[in-house]
Structure 1
Amino acid sequence: MSHYSLGELEAKFLAALRAAGRDPEHLHQEDLAGADEFHIGGIKSTEDLARGAGIHSGSHVLDVGSGIGGPARLFAQRFGAKVNGVDLTPEFVQVARLLTERTGLSGQVTFNQGSALALPFGDDEFDVATMLHVGMNIDDKAALFAEVFRVLKPGGVFAVYDVMQMVDDEPTYPLPWSTVPADSFVCSPMEYSEGLEAAGFAVDSERNRRDFGIAFMERGQARAAEKGPSPLGPLLVLGPDGPPRMANLLAAFRTGILAPVEIFARKP
């Protein structure tokens, strides 16, 4: 949790919005693009995951590891879903609530501080659960998958979009989610699928998005080289050591050590 808690994130976010020419008192979800979609592929990857999971206006969605709330708000605004987000980091939950209120989405989206290993919800509550770039921080994936299985309704979909280990070689650290290997819990797609099936899920599909991720990160690098870093870019959350973290991740994608992977699983 402390890895992501920089302190004063709310004030920094509001200052960044003003620096980018936004009015923090009257925000649209689009105003936050670049900062609140804190995963490879940004809005495009969130939309792809939502469509793959079948999220629609009648869906009740749980976003596990919801961060500052970008995907949850997108599921609500663009797909009409009702969304609950849960995150371990209190500062993220605070900022997520602030931004959700200022984008007028508080009626559809709520956030809870809590652990993905002990979700603060009852059994069979949700139609869809999503998890975007969260599993790399969680060692006990068996407990994680069991908890998501518990809170999903029968027939519910668990849509995962995580960075996964593709070969046995070690990537260079630091990475966006970890400064040292001991704090990184990256697993292979096979380990995810086997863990999901052990929890009771049926795995429907898997997609390696390595080329998509490389292209996305290279575009970001090119924009930063031309115009300088955006005040609403990933450095807002990662802090000043963000560039080497992102450079190491891109290198791991290029060498095929890591890749962003989608997995869709269903509760029978």
Structure 2
Amino acid sequence: MFIPPLNLDTLALFDEFHIGGRQATKAFVKNLRINASSRVLDLGCGLGGPARYIAGATGARVAGVDLSAEFIETGRELTGMALMVDLVDLRQGDIMDLPFQEARFDVAYMIHVGMNIGDKEALFAEVARVLKPGGQFGVYDVMAMHENPVVFPVPWASKPEHSALASRQTYREALDSAGFKIVSETDRSEAAQAFFVRLAAAQAAAGGAPPLGQHLVMGEDFPAKRANLVAALDAGHIAPIEIIACLPE
């Protein structure tokens, strides 16, 4: 019996667990120079949702690295069920010590990862090592707009000591230290607020959380994490910021 491949749009309900979900990924990817000949690196790939989307939309080969063996195991199963193992390679590893040779990738990106990495200068230096000259690096992270911007728990950390939330200036300085030149910087707060309004309306209409959703990945305290995130976003204490940077040729 023929079993059709998993639908990537259905998977996006829970395998793209960042602010804005699939729509945010699409907006992000439009600003990255990715085509069918590109070698792309996903830093902190989670279950591989964005990696699969990028591979499917562009034909690029995408390698994903995440510290969680459980995420990688599940992500590989989903990639196989989506019939995408020829384009997407997910592996367990530390993005601070990438298992790749120098100058291997054309594009690298990370989505909601930097809030858990304290030494951003070291991280960005490691990214620069594996990018080709002229390579592009995209960052889509939550960044602090004020001091003490959030009440915990939040999606990336249950306690303050587990959070490495930082300002836009910290990112700029870390990128500069690693040799990157910033090409663009975009505040995605308006789209993020609209995203959460749509989520709340959909949940109210359904009478509760949908069968597939971010709660499957984020745990039992996800409602509190999301509420604290939305409150900080609405108050302007944090913002989802997209930064596109390049290495010199």
The TM-score, its normalising length taken from structure 1, stands at 0.89
Contact 1:24 1:102 in 2 (8 A): no
Shift of 1:24: 8.8
Which of 46, 49, 57 in structure 1 is aligned with 2:36? 57
Which of 188, 195, 198 in structure 1 is aligned with 2:174? 195
Report the secondary structure of 1:130's partner residue: strand
Which of 225, 245, 248 in structure 1 is aligned with 2:225? 245
In structure 2, runs of 5+ residues without a counterpart are none
Shift of 1:221: 1.3
Report the secondary structure of 1:84's partner residue: strand
Matches within 5 A, 1:102-251: 102-227=81-206, 228-251=208-231
In structure 1, runs of 5+ residues without a counterpart are 1-22
Shift of 1:96: 0.7
The TM-score, its normalising length taken from structure 2, stands at 0.96
Which of 229, 246, 249 in structure 2 is aligned with 1:266? 246
Looking at structure 2, the residues matched to 56 and 231 of structure 1 have their Cα atoms a distance apart, in angstroms, of 34
Looking at structure 2, the residues matched to 70 and 29 of structure 1 have their Cα atoms a distance apart, in angstroms, of 8
Paired residues in the alignment total 246
Shift of 1:225: 1.6
Shift of 1:151: 0.3
Shift of 1:169: 3.4
Deviation readout 1:174-232 (Å, 9 max, x if unpaired): 00010111110011111101100001111111001111111101211111122021121
Per the alignment, residue 77 of structure 1 pairs with 56
Looking at structure 1, the residues matched to 160 and 56 of structure 2 have their Cα atoms a distance apart, in angstroms, of 37
Contact 1:158 1:266 in 2 (8 A): yes
Looking at structure 2, the residues matched to 231 and 146 of structure 1 have their Cα atoms a distance apart, in angstroms, of 40
Contact 2:149 2:238 in 1 (8 A): no
Per the alignment, residue 94 of structure 1 pairs with 73
Deviation readout 1:6-46 (Å, 9 max, x if unpaired): xxxxxxxxxxxxxxxxx997412122121011111111111
Looking at structure 1, the residues matched to 123 and 4 of structure 2 have their Cα atoms a distance apart, in angstroms, of 37
CA distance change for structure 1 residues 243 and 24 in 2, over 3 Å: closer, same or farther? farther
Q: Which runs of 4+ in 1 moved over 6 A?
A: none
What letter corresponds to residue 136 of structure 2 in structure 1? V
Report the secondary structure of 2:232's partner residue: helix
Report the secondary structure of 1:247's partner residue: helix
Looking at structure 1, the residues matched to 156 and 84 of structure 2 have their Cα atoms a distance apart, in angstroms, of 28
Q: CA RMSD in A?
A: 1.3
